[in-house]
Amino acid sequence: MKKIFITATDTDAGKTFVACALTQALINVGKKVAVYKPIAAGCQQVGDLLVNEDAQLLSQFSNCKQSISEVNPITLAAAIAPHIAASNENRAISIEEISQGFSKVTSLKAEVVITEGAGGWRLPIYINNNIGKSAKKHILLSDFAQDTKQDVILVINMKLGCLNHALLTYQAIIADGLQCIAWIANTASDQVMPYLNENIASLEQLLPMPKIAQLDFYNEKSMSLNDKINAAANKIDITHLL
Ligand SMILES: Nc1ncnc2c1ncn2[C@@H]1O[C@H](COP(=O)(O)OP(=O)(O)OP(=O)(O)O)[C@@H](O)[C@H]1O
Ligand SMILES: [Mg+2]
3-state secondary structure the chain: CEEEEEEECCCCCCHHHHHHHHHHHHHHCCCCEEEECCEEECCEEECCEEECHHHHHHHHHCCCCCCHHHHCCEEECCCCCHHHHHHHCCCCCCHHHHHHHHHHHHCCCCCEEEEECCCCCCCEEECCCCECCECCCCEEHHHHHHHCCCEEEEEEECCCCHHHHHHHHHHHHHHCCCCEEEEEEECCCCCCCCCHHHHHHHHHHHCCCCEEEEECCCCCCCCCHHHHHHHHHCCCCHHHCC
- Domains of the chain with CATH codes: 2-240 (3.40.50.300)
Query: Among the listed ranges 123-132, 148-157, 193-202, which one has the minimum average pLDDT value?
Result: 123-132
pLDDT at 170 (0 to 100): 98
Q: Residue 135 above 70 pLDDT?
A: no
Residue 219 CA: which ligand 1 atom is closest? 4
Tell me how far the alpha carbon of residue 76 lies from the centroid of ligand 1, in angstroms: 19
Share of the chain above pLDDT 70, in %: 98
Q: Indicate if the pLDDT at residue 73 is higher than 80.
A: yes
CA of 11 to the centre of ligand 1 (A): 9
pLDDT-derived band of residue 129, with 50, 70 and 90 as boundaries? Answer: confident
- The one catalytic residue in 3, 15, 37, 159 is 37
Instruction: State the pLDDT confidence band at 131, using cuts at 50, 70 and 90.
Output: low
pLDDT at 134 over 90: no
Statement: residue 202 has pLDDT above 70: yes
Predicted confidence at residue 128, as pLDDT, reads 85
Average pLDDT over the chain, rounded to an integer:
96
Of the pLDDT bands very low, low, confident and very high (cuts 50, 70, 90), residue 137 is confident
Pocket of ligand 1, beta carbon within 6 A: 8, 11-17, 54, 119, 186-188, 215, 217-218, 225, 228
Using the predicted structure, report yes or no on whether residue 96 has a pLDDT greater than 70: yes
Q: How far does the centroid of ligand 2 lie from the alpha carbon of residue 186, in Å?
A: 13
Q: What pLDDT score does 207 carry?
A: 98
Verify whether residue 37 is a known catalytic residue. Answer: yes
State which of 12, 60, 226 you would mutate to test the pocket of ligand 1, scoring each by most atoms of that ligand within 8 A of its C-beta: 12
pLDDT tens digits, 178-190: 999 999 999 999 9
Residue nearest to atom 11 of ligand 1 (CA): 188
Q: To the nearest whole percent, how much of the chain has pLDDT over 90? A: 95
Model pTM above 0.75: yes
pLDDT tier, 130 (very low <50, low <70, confident <90, very high otherwise): confident
Q: Answer whether residue 133 shows pLDDT above 90.
A: no
